[in-house]
Chain A
Amino acid sequence: MRIALAEMRRRRGRWFSIVGAVAFIVFLVLVLAALADGLFIGTTGALTTGDSDALVYSIDGRRSLVRSELPVSGLSAVANVPGVADVGALGVLLTTGVAGAEPFDAAVIGHLPGHAGEPTQLVDGRRPQVGESGAVLADASLRADGVSLGDTVTIVGSTQPLQVVGFAEDSRYLLAHSLWVPLETWQALRVEVRPETARLGAVVQAFPFLVEEGAALDAVSAAIDDALTTTETITTDEAVLALPGVEQQQSTFTAIIAASFVVVALVIALFFALITLEKRGQLAILKAIGSSNALLLQGVLIQALIATIAGYAGGFVLARLLGFILPPTVPVAFLPATAVSLFLATVAMGGLGAAFSFRRVIRIDPASALGGEA
């Protein structure tokens, strides 16, 4: 161990290069993962932010939030089903919003304040009250566009101004900025902007709900569908995947992240295999003076461990720094699970690479250290 550490101390330049290379490789994967996670949250936040176990859709809607139509009157029917602790409502209108002079892609989301499905991560201001027309809870991403509490937002095609009373985090829908308004406001807006929907009457698109403590979600869902006969109840996770483009996006990114993980893991392994191979001469000398294979392997592994840990730390810091300077149009989210699994993979692969090369190296005859004449 001392030998290994002494080498790292005395050959600082070289080991800094190695740590640097590992750091960049780690940085790559962390950023990729953050982008994938960021895009996911940006696309599905509206559903994931609401504290709901499942959502009720109309069968015709075929799991599509935009296609589903449920009469508002169905709310009480759902609430009455045994096992339902709380039920809310969701309606989504995709359109363009304007704040100040700048237009932005907007998802106007009608909901029942105080019930399941409303955004849980309030970061500023307050929520709109039930029936408070003209008040809107905006997604925090709008702040980067210069929108603050108290500002007025208008929807293209509508005359009703909306005042921002609060901001919520991670509540976007399909990468559009979400504007959460009380149900009545949403219905009025919808008819204004999409006159063809007037014939539908008072409808919403989904009922998010929570089950009571101890109740079985499957059973309650089945009961709801039986009671209302025209509905399909699916879990929140299923609903998220059914959002347009999400599955495609997810599979694309899963492919990307999987490929990157594999590539990075192999690159790190190859890297350390290379470095260990380079040490042939030095290892031969040590063997010649009587060092056991075990001792040498231990040294090589310790170096790999230190280098990968230091490299990971460097890559992590770089990735976080990048996250800070990115423009708001590029969504990033650094999730702990990803960071931890990458850390373990990096260290493991570094060790494996070093060990793999080591096997080759120990087959070298210590007599090769002799040099000189026979």
Chain B
Amino acid sequence: MFVDDVTKVYGEGRTAVRALCHASISLQDNEFLALVGPSGSGKTTLLSVIGGLLAPTSGVVTIGDTTLTDLSKKEQTRFRANRIGFVFQGFNLVPFLTAKENMTVMASISDKPRREIDERANQLLEDLGLAERSDNLPEQLSGGERQRVAIGRALVTDPDLILVDEPTASLDTELGTQVVKLLASEIKSRGKAGIMVTHDLRMVEFTDRTVEILDGELLHADGSGAAG
């Protein structure tokens, strides 16, 4: 995945807000990237641009052999359904679908065969410790459980790129660690790429690389692991 000189500006002239400024990143398969920065630094905006949810004011995003920014909205949506797994900051589960249905809904939305999605969903429910709660509605689940359902939904289509926005925000350390470990293993074992936005520096040890972002600009850090 390549992000090439992406700028995102909201508004015009004097009231213009530069959410992203000439940001560039590249990501390989099997790489798990941590995107670290304070509130308002543009992390979510960058993630949205990468996921095709936001169109950049200028710049190009390429995922695999597809130039995402060249695709029509419809094509971007389809791309997102099939090849990207997005875990939102607010989880955004569909309130009237059960935990399992929130995952299997991807069968209707993506082009993947239903049986495959179903099997993946069952497996993920196990792996995420949600097997007992699979028939519960979001309102009946704790914050941590909802978080895990959101992650399950992102993984169920076996996407090439996984984008995660603050996954550990409402989880205790043990659960948080478990979840990030799961993400890392998914990425590694299946050769996917992933970006995790977080301000929890304890989680950085599970990633391959850390990139800092501040006021819309990226500061690259080298090496893996230790906070720096």
A residues engaging B (CB < 8 A)?
1-3, 6-7, 10-11, 282, 285-293, 295, 365-367, 369-374
Contact = CB atoms under 8 A, between A and B. Distances in A.
Contact of A371 (B43, B90, B95, B137): B90
Given A6-B101, A282-B95, A289 B89 contact: no
Given A290-B110, A367-B53, A370-B89, 5 more contacts: A3-B105, A6-B97, A288-B80, A365-B53, A374-B45
Nearest to B85: A289
Nearest to B80: A290
Contacts of B137: 10
B89 A286 contact: no
A6 B105 CA distance: 10
A291 B89 CA distance: 19
Contacts of B106: 289-290
Contacts of B82: 290
Nearest to B51: A288
A287 B44 CA distance: 17
Contact of A369 (B19, B77, B88): B88
Contacts of B105: 2-3, 286, 289
Which among B19, B53, B110, B166 has the highest number of chain A CB atoms within 10 Å? B53
A59 to B, nearest CB: 73
A285 B80 CA distance: 13
Contacts of B142: none
Contacts of B89: 370-373
A29 B166 CA distance: 55
Interface residues of B, number: 38
Contact of B44 (A288, A295, A370): A370
A334 B76 CA distance: 53
Nearest to B108: A2
24 contacts: A6-B96, A10-B97, A282-B94, A285-B92, A288-B80, A288-B86, A289-B81, A289-B105, A290-B82, A291-B77, A293-B74, A365-B53, A366-B53, A367-B54, A370-B44, A370-B48, A370-B89, A370-B90, A371-B92, A372-B44, A372-B89, A372-B165, A373-B44, A374-B42
Contacts of A1: 108
A292 B79 CA distance: 10
B92 A288 contact: yes
A374 B96 contact: no
A6 B144 CA distance: 24
A292 B88 contact: no
B201 interface: no
Contacts of B42: 374
Contacts of B165: 370, 372
B109 interface: yes
Nearest to A296: B109
Q: Which 7 A-B pairs have the closest CB atoms?
A: A290-B81, A372-B89, A10-B96, A290-B80, A291-B109, A371-B90, A367-B53
